[in-house]
Amino acid sequence: MLTINLEIARRFILGKQGLWPGRRWRGRDGTAPAMRTMEYLQLDPLQIIARSHDIQLHSRVFDYTPGLWEDVTYQERQFFDWGGWLAVRPMDELPHWRVVMRRERDEDTRIRKMGQDHAEAVREMRDILRERGTVSNRDFKMSTRQRTESYRGRKDSALALYYLWRIGEVMTHHREKFERIYALTETVAPPHLIRESDEAEADRFLIKKEISFSGLTRVRRTSDSFQRGVPFSQTGQTPEKLLADGDLIEVQVEGWKGVYYALNSDAHLLYELSAGRIPQAWTPLAHTTTEEVLFLAPLDQVSARGRAKILFGFDYVWEVYKPESKRKFGYYTLPVLWGDRLVARFDSKLDRTTNTFVILGLWLEDEALGKNEAFAAALAAGFTRFVAFLGANKVDGMAIREPLLRQVIVPTN
């Protein structure tokens, strides 16, 4: 068993996700490699300043512009989106995911009931897709459909399309204003990928993918992305076999309870970091996170769902779904990564009428950072790149309380 300290664990997890020690990809050509390194790009429709998945890629890819992920996904067909936990996955993984899709069709009570309750609409949508090629939920007026009460859709046509998408009969052809445009799977995916892997092979692959996604994990069945559609009684069997076969290693992090798994193929990264070296493959193209801060998206794997507290001692909750009176910081607060630590957070909005990026609040974990010139320069560089990413023309930083930070972010001259 390998024992590491929290700093090594933090750097390993950040590096596995392409966030440390700095951006290592650029532009459209770098978007697909970044997405593969991330393992999953979780999608979210909310667009306050930018969508969470675009912010995730901005923090990893130089010169990333919103929507580049759609180009490599829907134009180049390098990826596909799928799942109740909605994420983009590499297209070459489709045979493994088709095992899960079939399990959902046959064994998931909610999915199976959806298909049964709307069987007639499912048959209708199949016929329409064969005839038209592509279909969206908006193609069907509410007045012509059976109303439903599901949060997945208010019309039987919407649930029928969603059902066909979940069981793998249709895929997302492309998106328009984030809405899925559906097409039959055979018109989207390469023919040689429209098959199922061997079940044991699929389970091994998906568990290893989950571990790679997390970097270090306990492989708990309740994990959002770890959904293979197998009974709870069987969830421990494959990880134990992978460990026995040498595909996984056990890692003890000082101060953490229990033992964590990592991929054996990543052991060299842990040894490099433990020796005080940065893995060569992680060499940033330009600025490090010490020279230019990064802003983490609300759903970023390294900080979402309580992980910021474990890794960084940074208490982060995405407050977008909290009533305004119960928010501690703000509606769309983003953590600030400086070096390998989360040191601040800010809430903001994009005033699209005046094309102004408005900082609604900036909160430091350590008040001394407000007078730290190295941090001020790194923060200014991060905001400069972020504002360009958003396409804003002006910055309103009047809510920043620290004079030095306000001056470097919004120079008066």
Q: Above 80 in pLDDT, residue 236?
A: no
* Average pLDDT, integer, range 182-197: 98
DSSP 8-state symbol, 217: B
Residue 223 confidence (pLDDT): 47
Mind spelling out the 3-state secondary structure of 253-311? Answer: ECCCCCCEEEEHHHHHHHHHHHCCCCCHHHCCCCCCCCCCCEECCCCCCCCCCCHHHHH
**CB-based burial label for 77 (10 Å; 0-12, 13-18, 19+):** middle
Q: Which of 3-7, 18-22, 143-147, 403-407 has the lowest mean pLDDT?
A: 143-147
- Report the chain's mean pLDDT, rounded to a whole number: 93
The model's pLDDT over 342-392, given as tens digits with 9 standing for 90+, comes to 999 999 999 999 999 999 999 999 999 999 999 999 999 999 999 999 999
Q: Which of 36-50, 52-66, 199-213 has the lowest mean pLDDT?
A: 199-213
**CB-based burial label for 143 (10 Å; 0-12, 13-18, 19+):** exposed
Q: Judge contact between 69 and 41, C-beta under 8 A.
A: yes
* Average pLDDT, integer, range 385-405: 97
Q: CB-based contacts of 244: which residues, under 8 Å, 6+ apart?
A: none
Which sign, positive or negative, has the C-alpha torsion 239, 241, 242, 244?
positive
Length of the chain equals 413
Smallest Cα–Cα separation from 18: which of 37, 3, 31? 37
The model's pLDDT over 368-381, given as tens digits with 9 standing for 90+, comes to 999 999 999 999 99
* Average pLDDT, integer, range 166-185: 97
* Average pLDDT, integer, range 79-87: 95
What is the rounded distance in angstroms from the CA atom of residue 119 to the CA atom of residue 141? 19
Residue 225 confidence (pLDDT): 46
What is the rounded distance in angstroms from the CA atom of residue 319 to the CA atom of residue 13? 24
User: How far is the first Cα of the chain from the last one, in angstroms, to the nearest whole number?
Assistant: 57
* Average pLDDT, integer, range 39-63: 97
Structural element, H or E, at residue 36:
helix 27-38
The model's pLDDT over 282-309, given as tens digits with 9 standing for 90+, comes to 999 999 999 999 999 999 999 999 999 9
